[in-house]
Amino acid sequence: MSSSHWFERAKAVIPGGVNSPVRAFNSVGGTPVYFSSGKGVIVQTEDGADLIDFCGSWGPLILGHARDEVIETVKKTAEQGMTFGANTRLEAEFAELLCHQIPEMDMVRLVNSGTEAVMTAIRLARGYTNRRKIIKFEGCYHGHTDYMLVASGSGLLTGGISSSAGVSKTATAEVFVAPYNDLESTQAILAEHGDDIAAVIVEPVAGNMGLVKPAEGFLEGLRKATQTAGAILIFDEVINGFRLGPTSYGHMCGVHPDLTTLGKIIGGGLPIGAIGGTKSIMEHLAPLGPVYQAGTLSGNPVAVASGKKTVELLRDESPYLKMEILGQRMAKGLQHVATEKELDLHCAQLGGMFTPFFRKDVVTNLEGSKACDQEAHARYFHHMLQHGFYTPPSGFEVTFISGVHTHEQIDAFIEAFYQFEG
């Protein structure tokens, strides 16, 4: 049965036919693709097509689909019990591994998603500082809690929604929003409201308005400004963590936040999230401190086993240089084609992440991302899909190269793009 068949059935019993809005293809049009299986970077669809996957479940599959060692670990762990709602040694081992790979994290608490991790980080920052207000940045997406759905990126941009219905004005009243990469605006807010600011939260490398790199000095400036104001600096590394190296981006760039949120890659394809930070802050979490957080499935042994094996493989194999080389090859190839064919396009790239922005100027913030030609992106998406490549169905997302993509697949992608008419 085809993707169209399953989408029609899904729409009768699932709102919009999808369990996450961006999957609805509203930004690019057409019928969503339904996957049936995947191995490495090749996925099979319900329409009988084989596609080379450059979405990777939006980032977690840095080792490709169904990596043998991860699957074997998951099977063995599941056979011993899917969940206990009690402690397992895997939790301790995984926490030790994460803290070892990210030395600035003294302690870590496992949760079930990136959204939960951010929710906990904000609550912890407020409980630790006894302050209420926070600063976030336009176009950065930090999950779907009420106070984070202000000037958010990702699916909210795709759906043309500036904020969500059902969000209390009281919740958003405690959130200041600054343009990404605008240090002066953040400093001004802290100068005027510093005594009320509990935390500044940021994606150190933005990935929910397309790939937007931090400007020189931006993260360093945030670190200094939050220390001066006595506010907690939170790096949301749900996308960044273990994507550019076997550690956090904060560790790699030498800017150490007070708290870091993780997700995606650290689950190896299964749902997970984590929050980590200094001991003095983390010990404010219950049962040691007054900040409550709990979860029946937190530290689920199957998800933890999958994540632990993934992180170990990344640590031992270190595919990051390969992904950087492939990423540069992709970006230079797309840029060359765009120049030769006089297409308005700038391809942002960092490591194995890239975004083809359909405008010539470099994108540095949400305003620049929203100024791109989204209709051209929709045509690009369907063109690449017809040529056997699956990319994110939104111009506000990052395209991912994994550790198992090949030079030949990158070159085939560029060749297919050469046939794109814009």
Report the alpha-carbon distance of residue 379 to residue 386 in Å, rounded. Answer: 11
| Mode of pairing for the β-strands spanning 35-39 and 197-202 | unpaired
Active-site annotation holder among 133, 236, 249, 320:
236
Q: Which residue has the tokens 């490549």?
A: 389
Would you call 264 a catalytic residue per the annotation?
A: yes
- 147 is annotated as an active-site residue: no
Name the catalytic one among 128, 136, 141, 320: 141
141 is catalytic: yes
Q: Of 136, 264, 308, 322, which is the active-site residue?
A: 264
Residues recognised as catalytic: 141, 236, 264
